[in-house]
Structure 1
Amino acid sequence: MRHRITLIAVCALSLTGCFAAPAAEQPGGRIKLAMLQPPRSGLTPFSDDAFKLSRWSTAETLVTLDADGNARPGLATGWRRVDDHAWEFTVRGGVTFHDGTALTAASVANTLTRATAASPKPRILDGVELTATARGDAVLVTTGTPDPLVPQRLSSPQLAILAESAYRPDGKVDPVGTGTGPFELVAVDGTTTATLDRYDGYWGPKAAADGIDVSFVPDGTARAAAIRAGEAHIAEAVPVSQAALLDPATVTEVPMPRTNTLYLNTRSGPFQDRGLRAAAREAIDAGEIVRGVYEGRADVAQGLLGPALPWAAAGRTPLTGRAPATDPGGAAITLATFSDRAELPEVASVLQQQLEDAGFTVTQVVREYAHIEQDALAGKFDAFILSRATVLDSGDPVAYVQSDFTCAGSFNLARLCDGDVDAAVRAAAATEAGDQRRAAILAAEAAVLRTDAAIPMLHERVIQGDATSVVDSAKDPRERTLITSATRLR
């Protein structure tokens, strides 16, 4: 581990040690990509690492989503609802995995079955009882309770379909050479690099680029500098402080369904007290954070769901029923966040001052995400600042609210277990897509906000850096796609 940490630090300080020196570029070419976070779970698709596989176009799902969140064909050419509990998906023919085996209904059922047995489960399956059975060229997907969003659920990168050879006897999943996308993952060097080559057997349009050379560079300044120096063609999540230093032609600002939220530990420590949680909420001046830390490149939060979901603001009603604030009286709290997103340590410093001004005594903890997530989930901090995508998985916020705020949620940093919240989330999950579902989602949001277990502060606009030689990289609000078959160098 020490070697890995040292190497990442070297990447941050000496970019030429992480990227190949600039060279004459060939049309198509190999795309050099600087990514924000290194793999946390060995690139298993059952974790958030799945979104790396998706952004590299190496692993694919049965279903995709269009810009409005509607389900569209992927590795499934179509589907139909058999009854309240069952859906049938027709598996696309003529598709091969990168190991040469054929995509079949059996291989799809194998992936989905293994996902349901994974520990921890993929977040998209929180609270879902799901079985998958091969039937000829189709897969029958059955849920324990009626689920109107099964097609959208199966679009989650965490349910990417891999070859049977990916699943090892020890329970680990190896995506190297086992996907179906236009790029084949051929090598991974721990938490430092990954290499992908064009897969000429791809079932769809062949990749225009020859391959992708990925470097994991947690330091945001280093990612931005790599674009300026020509050492990377694409850089994820350029820090706000660096955007002004780049050529405007290389910067794209994308409104994202991402919320910067303060999660308060409701199960242990001072924030078990609702009055102290209310005091923390009243202490926060999000406008100061947006102006001072984000230089105006963010929106002050009115709820958990931001302007990337315009129906949320249109349907939201004034919130009532919150507990009154009580005097903190010097209550000692630990405020934690991670350094991978460059703005978050600055947010922590501003919040520390605001909370201390309100009467709290604050100790701050900042680490790389890979080294703090486990402690955060275990409830070792009183407050945790997280930049969180709210429609990460299904294009629908229910999965996010379910995983983050229900008793059984797998990503419940607030350690919240509230009967009203669970009931509201269950109601939203059971409602058919459309206006009624959106109203139910806002009712669940209100139930969460009423507890003050989570204090949404702002909605981010993620900044992407693209060299002027890059053509057709994706600018995806859901952070699912980045390099596609069409992406290439001039």
Structure 2
Amino acid sequence: MRLPTRLLPLSAATAASTLLLTGCFSGSATDGSSNGEGDGNGAADGKRVRVAMMNPPRSGLSPLSDDAFKLSRWSAAETLVTLDADGDAEPALATGWQQDGRTWTFGIREGVTFHDGTRLTAESVVRSLTRAATASPKPRILDGVELTVRADGDSVTVTTADEDPLVPQRLSSPQLSILAAKAYRGKTVSPVGAGTGPFELTKVNGTSSATLDRYDGYWGGRAKSPGIDVKFVPDGTARAATLRSGEADIVEAVPVSQAALLDEELVTEVPMPRTNTLYLNTADGPFEDAALRAAAREAVDAESIVKGVYEGRADVAKGLLGPALPWAAGLRKPAERVKSAAPEGKKITIGTFPDRAELPEVAQALQQQLQKAGFEVKLDVREYANIESDALAGEFDAFILSRATILDSGDPAAYLYSDFAAEGSFNISQLSDEKVDAALDKAAGTRTGDARRRSVIDAEAAVLATDAAIPMLHERVIQGDAAGVVDVEHDPRERALVTADTYVK
């Protein structure tokens, strides 16, 4: 699947001093130094692709965590279904499917092998999906979903407790990747040498690096590059510097502050379904009071944050769903709002993380705005791996998060449920509201199409009416690609990056 790319020119600023990260990509056994002309079997010129990524693994690259999206971006692990540009389901490891009430039957592709040489079968699909469905916590794509999986000859049947129109889209989530039996031998799930993609994950160096080699037995055809060398570089300035110094071929998530320092021809800006939101703790502390949540909403000046922090490379939010979903604006109506109350010096703590370089600056801007409104504000900024558990446990009065809104299923109903349902697994706001839950349940049960889109916007309105979340802006992906990189993906969903077609000249 090839997602369309939208290229938006970025203005270049005067050159700045370049950080030299000598040795950042050194040490690989195969460093991509070959300059051959190809072998006639899909290889381009023998060079390995060097990638600088933002977030290091949080769960040892377990596919049951957000690390699954790294496996997907490296084309190491695959799912039964993929999504096209509109979010509609397309065949991948499954060749097709049909629905009969609560049961969906998926045909499994023949001739597919895992990286350890074992064959993809209906039983291996059942094993992977059952492990995900019974995990604790579940992958968020299965929030509120009870399903059972069984083999039926060469097919697999998936049965849900309630009729679910989104089963194919759910199965496209990288967190439901299909892996070989070897991946499940321990207490944790290890994807090393266990995927089906064109690249095999061969080595993981903690949170510093990963190595992938071309898998010549790939069912979709031999990859053009012999492998991928990944370095995790959380610092945005250092990450952008790897492109300027020639040490990386692909740099994901270039910070806004660094984009102008790069050659504009090497930078691609892609609108994406990602919202920068201020989540307010509705269960404990000052923001248990709806009137104080309203006061916080009125104090936030998102336009000044877009101009000052993002240098205009973001869109002011009108709701939780942004311009990457163009139908949302046309359906949205003004939400009902609670009358605000004076903060009168109420003390609040706002948490966020520096992994996305702009967030600490956003936090500082919000601190000033909320203090001007009458709050006393303290900031707590820690790396995401060290702060996520506290955020989910409700340890903050407010939390700033850059959140993808259709990351998992291509449908925003799953994100809304995960973040705002009383039983949602990512409910940072600790929200428990009967009207919100009812609206979310309705959206989840509505068939795909215009009716579902309307019910999704109704659910968004129910959430906004609580002021449990204050959407501020919608981000854009800024990605840096060296001049010699060919056919790298620019994916607004952040699922694809290096594919079988990607290579370095």
Q: TM-score normalised to the size of structure 1?
A: 0.96
Spell out, residue by residue over 1:67-93, the C-alpha distance to the aligned partner (whole angstroms, 9 max, x if none): 111110000000011x21000000000
Distance 2:254 2:20 in 1: 18
- Aligned mate of 2:177, from 144, 160, 185: 160
Matched, 1:486 2:492: no
1:156-195 equivalences under 5 Å are: 156-170=173-187, 172-195=188-211
Matched, 1:269 2:275: no
Identity fraction in percent? 69
* Alpha-carbon offset, residue 164 of structure 1: 1.1
* Alpha-carbon offset, residue 13 of structure 1: 7.5
Partner of 1:243: 259
Equivalent residue of 1:33, what SS?
strand
Matched, 1:53 2:53: no
Equivalent residue of 1:78, what SS?
strand
Letter of the structure 2 residue corresponding to residue 226 of structure 1: T
Partner of 1:431: 446
Are residues 203 and 24 of structure 1, via their aligned partners in 2, closer, same or farther at CA, if it must alter by over 3 Å? closer
Spell out, residue by residue over 1:364-422, the C-alpha distance to the aligned partner (whole angstroms, 9 max, x if none): 01111111111111111111000000000000001100100001101111011111111
Partner of 2:54: 36
Equivalent residue of 2:407, what SS?
coil
CA contact (8 A) 1:267 1:416 kept: yes
CA contact (8 A) 1:25 1:489 kept: no
Computed over aligned residues only, the root mean square deviation of the Cα atoms, in angstroms, reads 1.3
- Aligned mate of 2:485, from 445, 452, 470: 470
Matched, 1:75 2:81: no
Moved more, 25-34 or 140-149: 25-34
Distance 2:182 2:104 in 1: 26
CA contact (8 A) 1:337 1:385 kept: yes
Equivalent residue of 1:392, what SS?
coil
Spell out, residue by residue over 1:32-86, the C-alpha distance to the aligned partner (whole angstroms, 9 max, x if none): 00001000011111111000000000000000001111110000000011x2100
1:319-468 equivalences under 5 Å are: 319-320=335-336, 322-468=337-483
CA contact (8 A) 2:19 2:241 kept: no
- Aligned mate of 1:127, from 128, 144, 150: 144
Distance 1:316 1:168 in 2: 48
Letter of the structure 1 residue corresponding to residue 433 of structure 2: D
* Alpha-carbon offset, residue 317 of structure 1: 1.2
CA contact (8 A) 2:33 2:47 kept: no
Partner of 1:4: none
Letter of the structure 1 residue corresponding to residue 400 of structure 2: I
Distance 1:229 1:17 in 2: 11
- Aligned mate of 1:300, from 316, 337, 345: 316
Partner of 2:117: 100
Letter of the structure 2 residue corresponding to residue 295 of structure 1: E
1:212-227 equivalences under 5 Å are: 212-227=228-243
- Aligned mate of 1:256, from 272, 288, 297: 272
Partner of 2:161: 144
Distance 2:151 2:46 in 1: 39
Distance 1:61 1:100 in 2: 18
CA contact (8 A) 2:20 2:245 kept: no
Gaps of at least 5 residues in structure 1 are: 1-11
Equivalent residue of 1:372, what SS?
helix
* Alpha-carbon offset, residue 29 of structure 1: 1.1
Letter of the structure 1 residue corresponding to residue 328 of structure 2: A
- Aligned mate of 1:283, from 299, 302, 316: 299
Distance 2:357 2:34 in 1: 30
Equivalent residue of 1:16, what SS?
coil
Distance 1:67 1:110 in 2: 29
Distance 1:85 1:343 in 2: 44
Spell out, residue by residue over 1:302-321, the C-alpha distance to the aligned partner (whole angstroms, 9 max, x if none): 0000000000011111222x
Letter of the structure 2 residue corresponding to residue 399 of structure 1: A
Equivalent residue of 1:339, what SS?
coil
Partner of 2:82: 64
Are residues 451 and 403 of structure 1, via their aligned partners in 2, closer, same or farther at CA, if it must alter by over 3 Å? same
Letter of the structure 1 residue corresponding to residue 98 of structure 2: R
Equivalent residue of 1:15, what SS?
coil
Equivalent residue of 1:350, what SS?
helix
- Aligned mate of 2:25, from 14, 19, 26: 19
CA contact (8 A) 2:32 2:49 kept: no
Q: TM-score normalised to the size of structure 2?
A: 0.93
* Alpha-carbon offset, residue 169 of structure 1: 3.8
Partner of 1:207: 223
Distance 2:83 2:220 in 1: 17
Spell out, residue by residue over 1:255-298, the C-alpha distance to the aligned partner (whole angstroms, 9 max, x if none): 00000000001111111000000000000000000000000000
Distance 2:195 2:63 in 1: 11
Distance 1:276 1:310 in 2: 32
Are residues 331 and 13 of structure 1, via their aligned partners in 2, closer, same or farther at CA, if it must alter by over 3 Å? farther
Distance 1:70 1:355 in 2: 41
* Alpha-carbon offset, residue 14 of structure 1: 6.1
* Alpha-carbon offset, residue 16 of structure 1: 1.8
Letter of the structure 2 residue corresponding to residue 242 of structure 1: Q
* Alpha-carbon offset, residue 197 of structure 1: 0.1
